Structure 1
Amino acid sequence: MTETRTPDRRRFFRQLLGAEDAAAPGRAPWRRVPEVGAGDGDVLWSGWTGSGELFVVGDEGMVLRYTGSADAGGSQWQHMTLPTRLPLHGIWGTGADNLFAVGWMGVLLHFDGTQWRLLQGGVIDDQDGRFAPCEENTPLFAIDGNDQGQAWAVGDDGMIRHFDGHNWQQERSPTQVNLRAVACAPGNIVYAAGGEGTVLRRNSDGQWEKLDCPLGSGFHAILVMDDGSLLLGGGRYFVDQGGFRGELVRYKNDRFQALSFDDPMPRLRSLKAYKEGVLIVGDQGHLYYLKDLRLDKLESNSHHDLMDIIVLSTGEALAVGDFGTIMTAAEDFTQALAPPPKAAAASPWEIMDVPTRRQLWGVVEGQDGTCYAYGEAGTVMRLHGDTWELLPAPSELAVHCVWDTGAGLFAAGQLGRIFRFDGQQWALHYDLNLDLTILGMWGSSPESVYAVGDEGLILHFDGLGWQRMPSGTQSALYSLWAMDDEHMLAPGDFGLVLRYNGTEWADFNVGTENFLYGIWGDSLSDIYAVGLSGTLAHFNGQRWQQMATRLRDDLLSISGSEAAGAFIVGTRGCVMRLDDDQWVYEPSGTDAGLRSVCATRNGAVYAVGDRGTVLQRPLS
């Protein structure tokens, strides 16, 4: 049995961020990216990436788009619809909604984020239905642009086309030699290269000139180095070596120099800056890493010709080529394509010091503005100023709800027991004598307090004693929200909400099958319910409507006040805030599950949860 190794994610991210040994780029093996949408008969020529998306162009008018999301057929690589079947050799753009692709028969395409449109090329002769022998049909093989949004495309017969940000126009070229590479340099300088050792430079005045290169290489790639020098790659036939050989040439201080290495190379197709060095790809699956004039051959596990390199925002790269090949050295292609981790957004929440690390189930504001937090093993805390202090434990049982009547503090939880605190000590106030947990509590006065819990449990205290009320359900009821004694809601399992009208409890259909844990509203026509797997529903006084949150987190509690606004909390530190009728995500600064939130009357907000976590959102 072969052992499958699970990649160490921390180590992998260190690799992407360049924190590993600097020699690693010269040792890492490359492998094909799985489940690419191209076939063995397809040649992939180039690609572009940005904002977590990837576009790869190839033969037969192919553009593969990768967004990280599967389409309706389950494929993550989407074949885009194009107005041509001609091969595409190069792609460049300022964003995923502004891309240009160039190719055979002078094809020049533009993508606006919605569709590809043919701008130039591919002109058909009306008489014989074939491609017309016109200048517009001159094949284009490479494209590059600058930060100002200008671009240049080059091709056969010295063809150079320029995009000034608005229109494409042909520029005067000093050569008729086929051009295969173009690269933009700082200072509005542009270089182009091609066959017979041809290297062109466009100066800042927009004029192209031919540089005096004594070498006869057929150049396929140009890389502008940090020091302003050029590195050119290609190949030519050497009589003395009896065959075609790849060649690297450096242009520095107005001089061309062929770089010499011990091992012969095949034709070189692309050069890109990569991990403080240069990544080089060529025919027959050859991959090299060049740094400080040291050339290391990389393990590619492929014999297919590699045509271009796509450098990703993470510092990793892809190599594309013949037979639908896309390769990377990253252990996880999806992670390699992801944009670099951004600095965590500043959180308006502060973590408070508390005298416990036990699970906290809830937080509530009392009649006089005092806040209480409570949880496992009889934990009850009271907020005094900015300090949480432990009260005596009612028992060793978990406390799941607390309510301040103004004339005494009630605490309830496991085994259906309710305790009352007189300011000094707790006393057992009621014992259900059943193994049911009381989960929520609300009261309008010392003579009217309600409690709900497991198996449809509903209790009412009338100032004299606790009485059980018929609920008509065996579902657990997780909390209570009320405007008064005649308007009360209790959420429960499988989308259940019970509504009390002062006389009886009845089902109030929300329209979801997910468990609901919390309810809050600022009026009877503006109520929200939250629950499992990001469930969020709104009641407008007439009907419930589901709201999309795109969250996988369970939403466990909701609370609001006029001074503080409304907040939702949930698993993995999830916090949402209501902003102009829209719920927006807000960084909490913690990954701890948050079980309860309380928006106080004075504007401060508190959230409590796992590992004794207590967060405070101070007055703004």
Structure 2
Amino acid sequence: MALMAVTGACLQGGDRCGDDGFCPIGHECDKVNNICFAPGHRGKCGNGIEEKGEACDDGNADNGDGCNADCTSDESCGNGVVDRARGEECDCGVDRSTPTDRLCRDALNSEFRGYCRHDCKRHCGDGELAEDEICDTKVPVNTSCVSLRYDFGRPGCMDSCADLSAAQCGVWNWRLQEPATSSLLTGVWGSGPQDAFAVGDAGTILHFNGQGWQAMQSPTTHDLWGVWGSGPRDVFAVGATGTILHYDGKDWQVTSYGSESLIGVWGRGPQDVFVVGATGTILHYDDKGWQTMDLPMVDDEYEFSGVWGKEQDVFVVGHDFVIDEDGTPRDHGKILRYDGKNWQLMNSPPSQSLHGVWGSGPQDVFAVGREGTILHYDGERWTKMTSPVSVWLHGVWGSGPKDVYAVGEDGTILHYDGEDWTKMTSPPVELSFFGVWGSGPQDVFAVGLEGATVHYDGEDWQPMTSPTLEPLSDVWGSGPNDVFAVGADKVLHYNGQEWQSKTFPPADGVHGLSSVWGSGPNDVFAVGENGKILRYNGQEWQVTTAPEPKRLYAVWGSGPNDAFVLVYDGTFLHYDGQEWQPMTPPTREPLSDIWVSGPKDLFAVSFTGAILRYDGLEWQPSLPTSEEAYSFRSVWGSGPRDVFAVGENGTILHYDGEEWRAMSSTTLADLYGVWGSGPRDVFAVGESGVLLHYDGISWLKLNSTTERRLVAGWSAGSTSFVVDNGGGIYRHTRTTPAAPATAASP
């Protein structure tokens, strides 16, 4: 502390300080300021005297009171010192202040640019794009990942706001990654998208760091078959001759337990790990070490290869060997369950060897094995699922009950969406896969022969085998395995396996089919030239002719007894379940498309920019006259207060129930079709292969992989079908529905 020098004989014996003052005995005098310092306080922050090198000194060592604890800042914004106690995120100073934060990079506080704002808050992350920011972490990036040479996605923003992040970008389909080994890989597991491990023959261990796979130093040359961990610094690998490896985040250490082959490993935590293998082996690791578990119902003929659990339940799959009466050895699938106390053999449908097991919970467990076997446990019983393949399936993993993968021989990769198993398109190489794991539905790995690692970002885009080369004009379906496409004189139908073509006798006069819509799988309409109206009843197509043989443009409805057909001359036909009746709007517009939200709500768009709406009684213009020269080609909505219209020069308008507003489409290409599965999952297609997607935030380009004109599309949940003017058909599949958006921007 410091005292002013005082006068008086009472301080006789003290040191003189100034002309008339004295300092107490032992105190030190500052002869310039006539101040006395207690022993050891001179030159110290907190003595109440602002001395050389100090910006302030308020006599204490507290922050947030106008002078910080080390007396280097008066805690005012603009002094170049970041005062966290005052809520400052940065401070690059003003005028000639010398900032202490290296991130300032010679820039001062500024309202419009640089690292720090004038109020000492960071520009980056403030929800506004500063002049020299590439992006902002709180502002959605409106640039598509296609510009970064990916196929789909919205880029993120780096923490510095100085560059875009491709972490959310993806490529279509399963893709083969750069190999890090030529050895067979048999198992894969990870703690996250930037931390995965793969193991295989001759002690091979690979690590994925988010960029690529690299070989790790392995302490063994024995074959490894399984890998699992509780975290990035607690990973186990098992293999031949009782080999057990453990990784602590730095090195792999080897231990052995017996001489039997160990094939699968899984645990509930670092002190609760299960290992399974040959001759009925099941090991458990706790704080006391590895121990063999008692399995009274199992003999040496059993071999276990997969283990997985949830909460108290642990499931083990494998097989036993049985010699038939004719001396032929056969294996039979076996499943065991551990309830925290005892193992029990479960009843399951007859099957050959089971190899992999995974579940989303104790009441939702999948097991896979030979001959394409897939079993499912619902908490009460195991049942056999319909499998699209007959090859040996080695591994199974999922991100949830409606997103499950199984891999196996001959490049087989299957996906389960909660209803059906379907075969996915794998890379065009002849490989077998033995392990599968992912950090989520948009980040899945499979490993297999010749060191192959393949990765899936969550979306497929595949050209399908089409039975025609003639232009297609429209597509609609009742579900992903019941889809109709029309064009020229043909109706195509997809049954979940292949597209088949339906042609009509010349006497029917069917040609120029332009539109298709249905109320269900057994009630489908298609329209074309010369007033032809086709209707499908689930068995056959019936051809009728409208009251006047004019060109019919579009068909849509709300049900089997409420369908509308758009006629080329701007009039309509309405079907009430009995007959087609003509309808005439008050003004004749060259209309191009219609969409119906309900029995008393129809939208129609025109080539000349008009939008009409019918309420069941009368027609009204929906879009006010505008100076903009719109030309619309298609209209669709998720409901009467969420309608999209698209057209020439990249035009996209949105109706919110009150008014139509133009949206930024990021393209000048003519758009010919719009459709979606919901208000935050909308697609538009057009000239030169343009494929756009709206996620509730903005429209983004997707890579359609074609330069053909895309003319129409249709969606059922996470699956879409798109047709082009050359007979091409494309299928877009996402393993999970589109993520909900949090903001909208027209």
Q: Fold conserved (TM > 0.5)? A: no
When Rg is computed on C-alpha atoms for both structures, the one with the higher figure is: 2
- TM-score, normalising length from structure 1? 0.42
